[in-house]
Structure 1
């Protein structure tokens, strides 16, 4: 729904919504805030994980001060309308209840909750500028008496007037579902506030989980993967009429891997009379093939069945276990026809208590989450029913808890002989 260089860039780079990019975020810090960040930065070392996390969080929450970030999310109609429908469908359970909105942003989900009959909504968000905007939007909608905006991380929020809530709503999902590491905050809020009368001591764990499952929006999440192919410019083997004409052709192509091509750097070396097809070309390629890339993948580019890697029940998922171990998924897909596999596409879906599903699959209209791609170093030719078996794991690196590491450990197996064509392991990073 948006055009223009800023939002185009948001959709191209591997961030959920434009994050910590110096030239853009600096304009949103006043001199005092910038000095504060610099002071914190200078104290951070390998021996100071707490201070490092403070800096990471400071930058992370500041990044949400850009109004275009929220415009991008609000303009994602599939995302926003699914939440609206889910809360409206649950109006009988939400009537006269207190709702907690974790990471409330502009307050749109809080508005939906209030209109669904909630007695009161607490909208908690750590981005000060966004909270100030949310208060104005809420007042403009005539709901200032029904929604309280709290500028805080939910872990630190002082909800002194209540000890429990009747529902939690949150749009916590990042690229690859887990990028940004916001789910942990939702789970901690669940454990602290989402409690029926008599809980926890007077309620059996299975009954508590069932009760929570009806009051978490969303209540479950799933990760999926499939093999993909990418039609790309066959420049490396094309006849070289002129380096400059080849470069112009390459510029016109939507080719994710164009900067990894040796011939590009060979042509540029010839054009500039400076060697760039050696160490620089190798570094660019190495970086590309160790990153998670975010883009829309067409249904036609999927060349295997889709595999559900895992399902997360948010009513029972343990926050500490998620922090320690991340998420592990079993991978088992089979190729469809004779195909050239460039890598794996990863996406997610979330489900709400009354059955509404928000999917980011290539089979449905794109959302602002798009899909996430991890590339093999070289395309691999597979025949009908050849398999990719193994695992995909999702963890947050020690250096930045908001980033995400995706580790692929798999074997490519020939269907006809059951021989292993390739044994492959690599960790890819999705980072701010």
Structure 2
């Protein structure tokens, strides 16, 4: 549930298994963003997001009518309110931040305060008086798993979902695709400007103050390479920038997934190129589906996709991962990608990634494999 580029993304409950000191840092660095109405408004203005969840609830009202619902990370409370309006008997709306006060106010203003009980706390710590039939949550971060909020949803599921209960959303997929973009050229230009500025700074400091700062140039360069060239870039791409066949790199069944399963994502895929172009980056996005379970299917499956869209897409946008150097590709070429994404050791809500790309031309020529390290921060 990301709304600002490279900012924390989902109105969430706490991460599972964190030590007390880690929780304090988590609240300072993550949850506080969601205590502000301006941030909630940005997410509530995402029509693709809103329409998908609204349709999922009201077109599948039998999953909610007379049932008990748990909303994990309720934020403003809108999913809890919709659940009540769809006929839920009881809705437990869990929210870690002081946004809980606004959620209570909205529940009263919309006449569902007798059904929606807002509980301020983390879902790992709260106690409910009964098991639930439905868990609903908007837990998705950039490229689906940034923020690790799904950990909390899994915790809630294992603690409180009935054996025949359903998850909203029920399934998720992560995608990669080859793209053309000028973002890499702009980032390289910005990096060169930053290094030129540093060079002048070193000269001036030596000239005016008699101190040689050049010993720090290597570290300064590494910092700026990471920021400009090795960090993913938030963007809303146009579909015509996708120059090859997108590939699914991860599928998740929200009813059965474990934290271990999502702690690392690894995949090997082949993407066929559709046109002559300059392959300058890979793009990552996700979709989620609301279809219930095999045991308890929904009336109508609803999809929420964050794929490139000519109308502007969603607040999640796509993550752009620059390839260095870019590749000249032609229709019929194949690009083999070996992909890995693991949680950052410094902050489990951020991701470290590595891509190895190998171009196989239609003519039979094979290019040497190139490995690129990237960061989703």
Cα RMSD, aligned residues only? 2.7
Rounded to whole Å, the distance in 2 between the matches of 1:321 and 1:386 is 32
Q: Which moved more, 1:361-370 or 1:65-74?
A: 361-370
Which one of the candidate residues 314, 320, 336 is aligned to 1:373? 320
Instruction: State the alpha-carbon separation in 1 of the partners of residues 238 and 282 from structure 2.
Output: 13
* Secondary structure of 1:216 counterpart: strand
CA deviations on 1:101-148 (whole Å, 9 max, x unpaired) are 001100000011001110010000111x21011111111111111100
- Is structure 2 residue 247 aligned with structure 1 residue 307? yes
Alignment partner, residue 174 of structure 1: 141
* Cα deviation 1:256-315 (Å, max 9, x = unaligned): 44313x378559978998699975566523432221111111112111111111211111
Structure with greater helix percent: 1
Distance change >3 Å, CA 85–CA 233, structure 1 → 2: closer
Q: Quick one: distance in 2 between partners of 1:294 and 1:52?
A: 31
Contact 1:175 1:371 in 2 (8 A): yes
CA distance in 1, matches of 2:262, 2:321: 22
Higher strand share: 2
Asked if 1:363 corresponds to 2:309, the answer is: yes
2:294 is matched with: none
Aligned residue for 1:398, secondary structure, equals coil
Q: What is the deviation of 1:412?
A: 2.2
Match of 1:38 in 2: none
Alignment of 1:242-253 (within 5 A): none
What TM-score does the superposition give when structure 1 sets the normalisation length?
A: 0.74
Q: 1:58 aligns to what SS in structure 2?
A: helix
- C-alpha distance 188-98 of structure 1, shift in aligned 2 (>3 A): same
| Corresponding residue to 2:83 among 113, 126, 129 | 113
Correspondence for 1:413 among 360, 365, 371: 360
How many Å separate the matches in 2 of 1:306 and 1:233? 20
* Equivalent position to 1:258, from 185, 189, 209: 189
Q: Look up the SS of the partner of 2:19 in the other structure.
A: helix
Structure 1 residue 226: deviation in Å? 0.8
CA distance in 1, matches of 2:196, 2:344: 36
Per the alignment, in what secondary structure is the counterpart of residue 132 of structure 2? coil
**1:142-181 equivalence runs, <5 A:** 142-159=111-128, 161-162=129-130, 164-181=131-148
Equivalence for 1:222 = 173
State the distance in 2 between where 1:370 and 1:257 align: 22
1:154 aligned counterpart, secondary structure: coil
Distance across 2 between alignment mates of 1:18 and 1:318: 19
Q: Distance in 2 between matches of 1:387 and 1:274?
A: 50
1:345 is aligned, of 280, 283, 288, to 283
Whether the 8 Å contact between 2:77 and 2:107 is mirrored in structure 1 is yes
Residue 227 of structure 2 corresponds to residue 287 of structure 1: yes
- Runs of at least 5 residues in structure 1 that lack an aligned partner in the other structure: 1-9, 20-48, 197-210, 235-254
Are the aligned partners of 1:18 and 1:63 in contact in 2 as well (CA < 8 Å)? no
Q: 1:125 to 1:310 in 2, by over 3 A?
A: same
Aligned in 2, Cα 1:61/1:16: closer, same or farther, shift over 3 Å? closer
Structure 1 stretches of at least 4 aligned residues deviating more than 3 Å after TM superposition: 16-19, 231-234, 255-258, 262-283
Task: Note the alpha carbon deviations across 1:7-42, whole angstroms, 9 max, x for none.
Answer: xxx64x3225499xxxxxxxxxxxxxxxxxxxxxxx
**Inter-CA distance 50–384: structure 2 relative to 1 (3 Å threshold):** same
Deviations 1:377-428 (A, max 9, x none): 2222112222221332222122211112222233222231241x13122332
- Structure 1 residues 394 and 302: CA distance shift in structure 2, 3 A: same
TM-score of the two chains, using structure 2 as the length reference: 0.84
For residues 233 and 80 of structure 1, do their structure 2 counterparts lie closer, same or farther at Cα, with a shift above 3 Å needed?
A: closer
Equivalence for 1:96: 66
